[in-house]
Structure 1
Amino acid sequence: MFSDQKREARRRYREFVEEGIFEGKRSDLTGGGLLRSSGGWTGLKGFRKAGLRVKGDERILGDSDFVGHVLKSAEEAFEEKYDLRARGYDFDRAVVRVAEVMGMTAGQVTAFGKSPQTVKARALLCFWAHRKLGMTTVEIAAKLNICQSAVSRSSKRGEKIEREHPFELIADKGIKS
């Protein structure tokens, strides 16, 4: 939201928060939800009379555009996980796919060891299993016989690997995962 680059986004977000601290407590930002931020029921009726449609969700604080963006992102992530599950993708199939894209066997992907190729393959597997299939880091750790924190670190490395290479979890559809 603040930048496409993580470092720049964090810097801008910090500036945004610091500026907001000086404004103090604002009633239009307290309590969250569309109802309060639009001025109550009267405000919402005014939007309706003016023919304006607004999107709101009491769990997300922000204007209609922001709430819509957050909900759309969440829906896309949910749909991707559902689509993968519907196509039969699970941990074992992800292992096979990682082996294919890395030019290894499935056994090499899940093997103990610190060879650079194995570490890279496990990192990609952890990322796909966690972020794309929705598995918890605890579930993945149990399957790989490693600790949960190692899965978290590997998943972050796997995300970077996927960004740097044209690897796709689903090979037959061309969906970038």
Structure 2
Amino acid sequence: MPRGARLDAPGTLHHVMVRGTEGMAIVQDDEDREGFVGRLGMVVAATGTSMYAWALMSNHAHMLLRSGPSGLSTFMRKFLTGYASFYNRRHKRHGHLFQNRYKSIVCEEEPYFLRLVSYIHLNPLRAGLVRSMEELDGYRWSGHAVVLNRIRHDWQNREAVLGYFGKRESSAMQAYREFVATESGLGRQPELTGGGLIRSIGGWSEVKSLRKRSEKQFSDERILGSGEFVKEILKEAEDGVKERLPAVSLECEAQERLQRLCEEKGVAVKVMHAGSRTRQCSAIRRQLAEEFVEELGMSYAGAARILGISASGVNQILMRDRKKLQ
């Protein structure tokens, strides 16, 4: 089954992952990194987004944030478009810098907030960009040093993180640091970024336990949380989509997006509908298959009719892109 539209209500806690197209680097040197972090801070402040944790790697980045009044999609569009323009101008290149669809997971706060903060801030250590917790404490390109007050970024909400560890800043920072050091021994923790039931209830051991007891659990690969949390979020999202996007307008919106992108790329829409396999047509399909299924919530068959391919062809496009993100 395809994923539905993105869950994007303002005030929602999201774990967001962005990756360079085809695995390419999104930063090459410290000037790029300064540009990335500077743009991130500017858009966080401008959109009323709360940023709790972040880590910039060579070809991808992680963020834990609470979306502002305009929602996640507006924040990400402003940030990614702005940084990509800066990067392309500086390196005299053209084309997409990021994969067309960032990955976002709606997170249940109570059991997962601190685990996600530590998971994200430990990325540089897991990847070998720093060799020890001591080096991580002063590492400039993640939010860990900000929480410890080693680096200052006023746009990062370090107070919310430290609030979990006490009222006195000094003791809270020490407790936070000890917590992250302990978490560093847990490895990659795929349940925090994996999919479906494994993510929603916290790993294979819990899945097996439920199966033994013949219990069922709501799950969705866009959501990290308990079954009840998943059920509640999906109901709210379904009600919102029904209000905003009737079924007829979904197809109209999809056709309009196809028309705009074909005009931009110099491709006739009838050529797409006829099933042309040229490189340009394939690139358009890759972009729009993601948008139609994951953003608009269309079925594979509905997207396939507009794109001039089979439903299995849409499935293959999405499967390839998801494998690249994992």
Ranked by relative contact order (alpha carbons within 8 Å, sequence separation 6 or more), the top structure is 2
TM-score, normalized by length of structure 1?
Answer: 0.46
Structure in which a larger fraction of residues adopt strand: 2
